[in-house]
Homo-oligomer: A and B are copies of this chain.
Amino acid sequence: MSVVTIERKVLEKNDEIARKNRELFARHGVFVCNVVSSPGAGKTSILERALEHLAGRLKVAVIEGDVQTDLDAQRVARYHVPAVQIVTAGGCHLEANLVRDALASLDLSQISLLIIENVGNLVCPSNYDLGEELKIVVASTTEGDDKPLKYPAMFRNASVLIINKIDLLPYIPCDITKLRANALQINPSLQVFETSCTTGSGIPAFCDWLVSRCSTLAGR
């Protein structure tokens, strides 16, 4: 029982810091997305394509979360946006205090969109609020169409689903209609985008949605 109590306290403490992060984001009018997926589903690649597409349209900053290495922050920094790498050193998810600490390196008054790329893990990050406006879950076609049923919490807690690697559909046994239906069965209110970082397909629609959400926030 003591472990359960401590786990609850950890989550309560996290939620308290997340609330403060959220207040800070609201004060600066920053739209914040927490991007989650399995390892290798294409979070960083989608981000790279989106940064290309959003250049000159939105002021974007990125927080990268990884178990080890700053490879992702290096990839993102090529697009001339502020990028902060959090290395969890074995930790399986980002927590609100890590994001709070990373914010010290960003000037929020110069940012309209902050993308937080979580650790590649389809289980643990679903429990941890970082103070984001919403979670975006990326599911790649190569992972198979059953993943929403097998890892439901992540799909339940997300607002947006990006189905990535659609260019590989001809070569793999993934039924995208089933993948979409399985996700919507878990969470009927998911907004779904279909993308390929190889062909660029679907990236403009996703970016238009980001721009529109940032405008809505600015108009509040």
Contacts and interface: CB of A to CB of B under 8 A. Distances in A.
A92 interface: yes
A14 interface: no
Given A3-B6, A119-B123, A149 B39 contact: no
A151 interface: yes
Contacts of A120: 38, 122, 150-151
Contacts of A92: 92, 121, 123-124
How many copies are assembled? 2
Interface in A124-175: 124, 140, 142-144, 146-147, 149-153, 165, 167-168, 171-173
A189 interface: no
Contacts of A153: 67, 90
Contact of A6 (B6, B123, B173): B6
B147 A40 contact: yes
